[in-house]
C-alpha cells in the first residue's frame, strides 16, 4: 500500500524530483547562457540578463534580476559589464555566488568557446562536485563540436573565396573578421563615438584599399555603417555578436552560420 502511494506521488510530482537538484544560474549574456546549458544540460536552470539585440554596455539592472540570485543563486559574468558592483552590493548577504569569466576574444570564435567551456566547467565542478564527471563529459563533447564548427567555418570561407577580402568594420567585429581571414582596412567605434573626421578618413581608406564591404555590429548601432555604405556605394552587412540577436540563432553555431550567410550575400550583391 505504502509503495503504491509513493509510486502515485512520484508520477504526480516527477518534476519535483528532477528539478530539486537544478542549479539556478544567472548569466549576463546569451553567450554565457548558451555555454552553461551545453555543460550543465538538465542540471541547470539558466536566466539571462541582457537581451541579445541591445548594446550590453547600456544595460541597466532591474529588481527582478536580483530575485533569482538571492536564493543561493550563481551569477556568471564576462568582466566588461558595468553593473556588477551594483549587483554584488545588493546580494551581499544572501548566499549568492558571483564568478567573473574573463575569457578574452570574441565568443563567436570556436577556440574562444572552448576556453569559455573549460572555465565554466571548472566553476560548475567547484559548485557541484557530485556531478563532476557529468560536466567534464559534456565539456569533452562540446570541444569536439567546436572543433568541427571551426572546420565548417573554414570550409565555408574557402568555398566562397572570402579570405583576404578587404573590409571596413565595427571594432566589435574586428576579432571575428580577423579569424575569418578578412583584411581589415579600417575600423569604427560605437555610433556615439564617431566624428565627421573619422568618416572622411574611412571613406579614403575604402578607396585606397579597394574595400569590398562595410561591416556593422548589431549590438553597437548601425548608423555609421549605413552612412559609410551610402557614401562609398559599398554593400553594408550587419553581424550579430550574440546568440539570439537574429531570429533562429539560439546557439553559437547558428549565430556564426547566419553571420557567414549574411557576409556572402552582401559580397555577392
Angle at 242 between CA 165 and CA 186, to 5 degrees: 30
List, by residue range, all CATH 3.40.50.1980 domains of the chain: 17-154, 160-267
The CATH topology of domain 160-267 is Rossmann fold (3.40.50)
Nearest to 98 by CA among 135, 67, 131, 123: 123
> In this structure, are strands 74-77 and 166-170 parallel, antiparallel, or unpaired?
unpaired
Nearest to 259 by CA among 132, 170, 199, 137: 170
The tens digit of pLDDT for each residue in 117-143 reads 999 999 999 999 999 999 999 999 999
Contact 29, 46 (CB under 8 A): no
Rounded distance between C-alpha atoms, residue 266 and residue 269, angstroms = 5
pTM: 0.89
Segment holding 219, helix H or strand E: none
Quote the pLDDT of residue 69: 84
76 three-class SS: strand
pLDDT band at 2 (very low <50, low <70, confident <90, very high): low
Q: Give the distance from CA 193 to its chain's centroid.
A: 23
**Rounded mean pLDDT of 143-168?**
97
**Rounded mean pLDDT of 72-80?**
92
**Rg (alpha carbons) of the chain, rounded to whole number:** 22
Rounded distance between C-alpha atoms, residue 169 and residue 189, angstroms = 9
Tell me which of 166 and 93 has the higher pLDDT: 166
Quote the pLDDT of residue 10: 63
Give whichever of 59-63, 68-72, 253-257 has the largest mean pLDDT.
Answer: 253-257
Considering the four listed CATH numbers 3.20.20.80, 3.40.50.300, 3.40.1160.10, 3.40.50.1980, the one that applies to the domain covering 17-154 is 3.40.50.1980
pLDDT band at 169 (very low <50, low <70, confident <90, very high): very high
Exposed/middle/buried for residue 267 (C-beta within 10 Å: 0-12, 13-18, 19+): middle
Contact 229, 214 (CB under 8 A): yes
Rounded distance between C-alpha atoms, residue 220 and residue 190, angstroms = 5
Amino acid at each position: 500500500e505504502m509503495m503504491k502511494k509513493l509510486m502515485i506521488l512520484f508520477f504526480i510530482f516527477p518534476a519535483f524530483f528532477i528539478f530539486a537538484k537544478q542549479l539556478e544560474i544567472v548569466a549576463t549574456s546569451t553567450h554565457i547562457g548558451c555555454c552553461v546549458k551545453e555543460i550543465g544540460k538538465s542540471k541547470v536552470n539558466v536566466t539571462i540578463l541582457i537581451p541579445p539585440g541591445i548594446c550590453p554596455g547600456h544595460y541597466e539592472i532591474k529588481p527582478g534580476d536580483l530575485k533569482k540570485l538571492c536564493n543561493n543563486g550563481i551569477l556568471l559574468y564576462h568582466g566588461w559589464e558595468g553593473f556588477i558592483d551594483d549587483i554584488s552590493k545588493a546580494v551581499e548577504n544572501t548566499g549568492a555566488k558571483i564568478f567573473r569569466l574573463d575569457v578574452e576574444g570574441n565568443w563567436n570564435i570556436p577556440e574562444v568557446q572552448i576556453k569559455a567551456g573549460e572555465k565554466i566547467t571548472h566553476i560548475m565542478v567547484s559548485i557541484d562536485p557530485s556531478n563532476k564527471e557529468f560536466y567534464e563529459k559534456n565539456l569533452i563533447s562540446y570541444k569536439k563540436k567546436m572543433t568541427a564548427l571551426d572546420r565548417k567555418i573554414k570550409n565555408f570561407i574557402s568555398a566562397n573565396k572570402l579570405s583576404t577580402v578587404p573590409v571596413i568594420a565595427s571594432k566589435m567585429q574586428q576579432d571575428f573578421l580577423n579569424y575569418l581571414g578578412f583584411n581589415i582596412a579600417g575600423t569604427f567605434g560605437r555610433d556615439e563615438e564617431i566624428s565627421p573626421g573619422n568618416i572622411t578618413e574611412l571613406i579614403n581608406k575604402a578607396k585606397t584599399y579597394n574595400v569590398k564591404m562595410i561591416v556593422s555590429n548589431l549590438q553597437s548601432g548601425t548608423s555609421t555603417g549605413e552612412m559609410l555604405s551610402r557614401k562609398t556605394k559599398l554593400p553594408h552587412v550587419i553581424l550579430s555578436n550574440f546568440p539570439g540577436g537574429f531570429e533562429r540563432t539560439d546557439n553559437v553555431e547558428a549565430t556564426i552560420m547566419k553571420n557567414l550567410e549574411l557576409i556572402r550575400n552582401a559580397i555577392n550583391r
